[in-house]
């Protein structure tokens, strides 16, 4: 599957709607995870749009926490698990500057060079054409952190 701005826009819209990388990869017309991550590495504008969509997705997850907590019809144990899962996700994916200090120790880091090697170790087109079901695991917060930093530089005029 080749990159196009139209496909990139569809991906960003789907992420804004709450779609995960796994869900996108399983949906006809969307790339598998390996292809998506290669596109993000090769297309800075798409990567910026994607990272903003992921941040908005996180904001939506935080809104869900409030909705769940306010729902008196939910079993308290179910509500607690739902809230904990969303808090964990948001805590893992938030850029380090927004994380609570105790979280910084437990979050593994991968350098951008290692991330690039991981992506290049299995060419995206070859994986997509072969129809391989295996998905290369890349820590989601690494790409997001890189893109957030790029966005901050642009926002601050640096």
Tokens 């979050």 label which residue? 107
Instruction: Indicate which CATH number applies to the domain containing 24.
Output: 1.10.10.60
Stated pTM of the model = 0.56
pLDDT tens for the chain, 158 residues long, are 899 999 999 999 999 998 999 999 999 999 999 999 999 999 999 999 999 898 888 888 888 989 999 999 999 999 999 998 988 888 777 766 555 544 444 444 555 565 556 556 655 544 444 444 444 444 555 666 676 667 667 665 55
Domain interval for residue 137: 5-155
Domain count, the chain: 1
């Amino acid at each position: 599957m080749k990159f196009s701005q139209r496909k990139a826009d569809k991906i960003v819209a789907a992420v804004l709607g709450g779609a995960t990388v796994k869900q996108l990869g399983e949906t006809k017309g969307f790339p598998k995870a390996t292809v998506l991550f290669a596109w993000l590495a090769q297309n800075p504008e798409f990567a910026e749009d994607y990272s903003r969509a992921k941040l908005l997705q996180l904001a939506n997850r935080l809104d869900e926490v409030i909705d769940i907590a306010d729902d008196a019809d939910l079993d308290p144990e179910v509500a607690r698990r739902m809230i904990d899962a969303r808090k964990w996700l948001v805590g893992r994916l938030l850029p380090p500057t927004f994380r609570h200090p105790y979280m910084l120790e437990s979050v593994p880091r991968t350098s951008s060079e290692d991330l690039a090697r991981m992506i290049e170790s299995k060419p995206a087109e070859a994986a997509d054409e072969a129809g391989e079901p295996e998905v290369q695991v890349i820590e989601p917060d690494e790409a997001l952190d890189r893109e957030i930093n790029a966005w901050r530089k642009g926002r601050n005029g640096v």
